[in-house]
C-alpha cells in the first residue's frame, strides 16, 4: 500500500512570547523565522533590517531552548551564552519562552562585551 501522506511532517514548536502587551503563544516551524511566524499569527514585533544585524527585534530566552541563528548577519557566541535571540532571522529548534522587546538590553550587552551594537 502506498500512502503519500507518510512524508514526515515539518517540525513545529510552541513559542511563548512575553512582551509589554502580554503573553502570546504561537507555533513556529523549524524552517521558519520566528518573527515571520509571529506576524502571521497576529503578533507584531519590532524590526528594521530583517537581516539579523540591527538588534531591533532582539528577544531573550526565559528558559533553556534551542534555536538556529545561522541566518543572522551578525550574531556572536556571547549573545547565545546570554540568551539573546534575533527573532527576525532565528528559527526555533525546540519549544521556546522568550521575552520580546529586548533590544536595549542586548545593545548594552554588546557594548559591555566590546561587540558591535548598531543604534546604541
Name the residues that contact ligand FES, by CB under 6 A. Answer: 47-50, 52-57, 86, 88
CB of 75 to ligand FES, least distance (A): 9
- CB-nearer residue toward ligand FES: 48 or 62: 48
Cell readout for 95 is 519549544
- CB-nearer residue toward ligand FES: 8 or 101: 101
User: Residue 39, CB half-sphere, CA atoms under 13 Å: how many?
Assistant: 11
Task: Judge residue 30's burial from the number of C-beta atoms within 10 Å of its C-beta, 0-12 exposed, 13-18 middle, 19 or more buried.
Answer: middle
- CB-nearer residue toward ligand FES: 37 or 55: 55
CB of 58 to ligand FES, least distance (A): 7
Angle at 51 between CA 32 and CA 48, to 5 degrees: 105
Amino acid at each position: 500500500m502506498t500512502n503519500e501522506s507518510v512524508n514526515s511532517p515539518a517540525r513545529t514548536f510552541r513559542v511563548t512570547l512575553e512582551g509589554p502587551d502580554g503573553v502570546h503563544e504561537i507555533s513556529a516551524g523549524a524552517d521558519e523565522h520566528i518573527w515571520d511566524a509571529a506576524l502571521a499569527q497576529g503578533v507584531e514585533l519590532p524590526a528594521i533590517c530583517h537581516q539579523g544585524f540591527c538588534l531591533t527585534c532582539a528577544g531573550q530566552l526565559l528558559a533553556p531552548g534551542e534555536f538556529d541563528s545561522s541566518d543572522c548577519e551578525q550574531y556572536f557566541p556571547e549573545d547565545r551564552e546570554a540568551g539573546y535571540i534575533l527573532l527576525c532571522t532565528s528559527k526555533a529548534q525546540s519549544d521556546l519562552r522568550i521575552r520580546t522587546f529586548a533590544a536595549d538590553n542586548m545593545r548594552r550587552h554588546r557594548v559591555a562585551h566590546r561587540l558591535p551594537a548598531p543604534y546604541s
